[in-house]
Amino acid sequence: METRLLLSDPPSPLSIIPLGGLGEIGLNMLLVQYEEDILVIDAGLMFPEDYMLGIDIVIPDFSYLLKNKERLKAIVLTHGHEDHIGALPFLLKEISVPVYGSRFTLELVKEKLKEHHLLGQSDLRAVSPKEILSIGPFRLEFIRVTHSIPDGLGLAIQTPMGTLIHSGDFKIDQTPLDGVITDINTFAAYGARGVLALMSDSTNVEREGHTLPEKRISETLDQIMRECEGRVIVAVFASNIHRIQQVVNSAARYQRKVAFNGKSMVINCRIARELGLLNVPPGMELTLGEMLQLPDSQVTLITTGSQAEPMSSLTRIARDDHKQIKIKKGDTVILSSRFIPGNEKAIDGLINNLYRFGAEVIYEKVSEIHVSGHANQEELKLMLHLTRPKFFIPIHGEYRHLVKHAQLAHKIGIPKENLILAEDGQVIRFDEEGGRIEGQVEVGRVFVDGKGVGDVGNLILRDRRHLSNEGLVVVLVVLNNQTGELLSGPDIISRGFISEEEYPQLIQEAKERVLEILYLRQKEDIKNWADIQEEIRKTLRRFFDHSLERRPVVLPLIIPM
């Protein structure tokens, strides 16, 4: 009798597709795709760079997802920072799908969805560390990680092709304020069973050693509170509940009251208290009005604005534009956060203004007042050792961070051919032949300007930069609709280019050149106003460039009557 060995079909290819977060800080969004099913990990925003004039926020391009929305099974959030949840409302306007996250993360999401009038129609599902659930072909386990925000999660994603580990944003702090440490045992258990690929946070890969423990900040805060005879004003990220708790604890030790200032600060602290993540002793919290009645030595203000955001509370205070808080001699202002790249100039200006009003300012460059929420090199190495992945994919960082993280992984033994250095839109494919980059999907950045989403493109940004750099010249002419005869003008209005009072001769010469064009055109069949406007624009651009070496935006307006 012949015996046949029945072999099961090999698993289908598995794809990982980053839509954001690989090549920049922020905009984190990653897809895991198996056959007809897609799982989304995070949906974050990034804040505008200097050249993005007038833009409020930047979100990923969802085009690929929208084309495949029937395949989308769920969105999983690792934690509640804006660079991981900020784009979610814009995505949920287009796609209805369950959203999974920790309690604190989903409470922050709810506040965002309220602003977009989406809360009633959103399917939010809370999960806890060690919880396991199945979503289509994916079996997920949520793994507790320590970060600069409560309730952070890493992910183990079991697929027919193998297990993926997503570190989330993490650090390894053995003495966190809340006692909740990164679950290295679960990461190690998956490593022992076999991990196909590790995707790990690259933000701090340039920093050697270990991240300092969060509790180190308590010593600095205690010293400041003990020695300061005036008010203490602490600017901190509203999401950094552990840091806020340390400020509250130090204030309590030195018989100070606290007040919370800034919309996001008030909301986040309310949510954290409701969930038992922040403890403020009864009677310790005051309103701003009540705080003004106390002696300065009893006052601690916890506020937003550590990055000198233009409309933040601390920025308004530093401009002497806050209705209730005025900086005075004897105040101590603490900026308890790192200077995010790109914000340095604004923060320096804020610090200078605070000093002008008589405050003492304490910040990361002069005092140990901040520790990072991201893993340094030794912790990144530990994550690699724990999970022992076959393939390694660095995520969450600018391109140089991804390169350095891949180099770090190679130093501890991962072969070069198993290091996958991908960027946004590149499809990472795993099959029986291995893992590699194969293909590309549509990606990009979508600009949000006020209520407009995606209606501001590169051309408009170019015009805004041109206007900001060179100014605007408007040429107003009224012509007879039939004959082309000049009825009024030309009037020339300058904004941001030159003062008309200081350059009367230049303005007069510009008018004469416009008149010359109109005179020559009047002898022709004058019907195409657009051609005349374009000729005026080019002529004046050349004239101004030759006269002043400046190239303003020239806007001719011909009004036929």
Catalytically active residues, by annotation? 201, 374
Q: Helix, strand, or coil here: 225?
A: helix
Omega prior to 160 cis, within 30 of 0: no
Q: With beta carbons less than 8 A apart as the criterion, state whether 358 and 328 touch.
A: yes
Q: What are phi and psi of 305, to 5 degrees?
A: 110, 20
Q: What burial class does residue 304 get, using C-beta atoms within 10 Å of its C-beta: 0-12 exposed, 13-18 middle, 19+ buried?
A: buried
Q: With beta carbons less than 8 A apart as the criterion, state whether 206 and 398 touch.
A: no
The tokens describing 107, both together, are 């409470």
Q: What burial class does residue 41 get, using C-beta atoms within 10 Å of its C-beta: 0-12 exposed, 13-18 middle, 19+ buried?
A: buried
- 473 vs 467: CA distance, rounded Å: 10
Query: Which stretches does DSSP call E strand in 283-344?
Result: 299-303, 332-335
- 80 vs 475: CA distance, rounded Å: 51
- 450 vs 170: CA distance, rounded Å: 33
Torsion of CA 455, 457, 460, 462, to 10 degrees: 170
* CB neighbour list of residue 266: distance below 8 Å, 6 or more residues apart: 260
DSSP 493-515: EEESS--TTT-HHHHHHHHHHHH
Q: How many CB atoms lie within 10 A of CB 483?
A: 10
- Could you tell me which of 46, 27, 275 has the C-alpha nearest to residue 149? 275
Q: What burial class does residue 221 get, using C-beta atoms within 10 Å of its C-beta: 0-12 exposed, 13-18 middle, 19+ buried?
A: buried
> ∠167-16-385 over CA atoms, to 5°?
35
Q: With beta carbons less than 8 A apart as the criterion, state whether 83 and 41 touch.
A: no
- 43 vs 27: CA distance, rounded Å: 7
Cα 41 vs. chain centroid, distance in angstroms? Answer: 16
Q: What are phi and psi of 359, to 5 degrees?
A: -80, 155
Question: CA quadruple 320, 323, 329, 335: dihedral positive or negative?
Answer: negative
- 559 vs 561: CA distance, rounded Å: 6
Query: Which stretches does DSSP call E strand in 94-131?
Result: 99-101, 124-126
